Amino acid sequence: MSNKTFLSQALKLLLLAFLSISFYSCGDKTDELTYYDTYIEGYIKDYHTGQPISGIVFDAYYVESSGSNFLSTYYELFTEIGKSDNNGYYKIRIPKCNNGVTFNSIKLVPHSTDDYFFLEKSFGYETNDLSKNSLTVNINPITYGYLKINVGLNNYINEPFAYESMGTYEEPKAYIPQRIIDSSISVNDKYYILKAGMGENVIYLYDGIHQYKIINAKDTVIINLIN
C-alpha cells in the first residue's frame, strides 16, 4: 500500500470518527440544552376508579453516569418540566446534552399531592432505547382511606408496622399506614387514626397481625383491640 493510499484511508477513518462523536455527543456546544426527538409519556389514572388525574407536576434529574461509583455520576435537576393535563396525559422530552455533558439516563420525579403519593424512577437510554424511540409508561396511583384503631383506656400502641410496600413508579401506594391523630381519650374509649392505602392489606399491632380492607377512598375501617 502506498503512503498516499494509507493517508487517504486514515483520513476517512478520522472523518467517520468525528461524525460519530458529533452525532452521539454534545460536540462543542458547552452551554446549550439539546434533546432527542423522543419522549416518556403516558396517562395518570386512579388505580381503582380509572379516573384521570390532572395537575401532576414532574421534576427530573438529567444524568450522565460512567460507572457504578457515585463519584463517576453527574446530574442536573430540572424542575416543572411536565404536567398531566385534564385527561391525565403527561409527556416528558428526553434530554441529550447540556454544559458539554452527554446524558445517558433520566430520573423522573412526579410531585405527590394530598390525595396521591408518587415514586421516582430512573430510565436508562440504552436499556430503553430512548435516544431513538419514545417510551409509554402509564401511572396508576392508589389513594388512601383511614384506620380507626380502638385500644381502650388501659392500652397503648407504638407506631404500627405495616406489611405493605410503597408500590412502584407505575402503581404507587398512597400511604404506608401513618398516624395522623395521636389519640383521643373520652370516658369510654381511646383510639388512633391512621392513613392507609386502599385495598387489602395487613398491619402489625401490639397484639398481632390484623387484616383490613379499604374499599373506597377516604373510607374509615375500624379495628377493635379493646379486651
Report CA-CA distances (Å) from 55 to 112, 143, 217: 11, 16, 19
Please give the Cα distance from 200 to 48 (Å, whole number). 12
Query: Model-level pTM?
Result: 0.72
Mark whether 50 and 107 lie in a shared domain: yes
Q: Can you give the CATH number for the domain in which 71 is found?
A: 2.60.40
Per DSSP, what are the bridge partners of residue 108?
60, 121
Domain tally for the chain? 2
Mark whether 161 and 205 lie in a shared domain: yes
Domain of residue 59 covers 32-136
Domain boundary among 83, 105, 136: 136
**Structure-block grid coordinates of residue 110:** 412526579
Mark whether 208 and 125 lie in a shared domain: no
Mark whether 206 and 114 lie in a shared domain: no
Q: Residue holding cell 380492607?
A: 213
Q: Residue holding cell 417510551?
A: 135
First-to-last C-alpha distance (Å) of the chain: 97
Mark whether 88 and 183 lie in a shared domain: no
Spans of the chain, pLDDT less than 70: 1-31, 67-72, 152-166, 174-189, 226-227
pLDDT in tens, 120-168: 999 999 999 999 999 999 999 988 888 888 876 655 555 555 545 568 9
Mark whether 53 and 128 lie in a shared domain: yes
pLDDT in tens, 25-37: 565 555 689 999 9
Rg (CA), the chain: 26
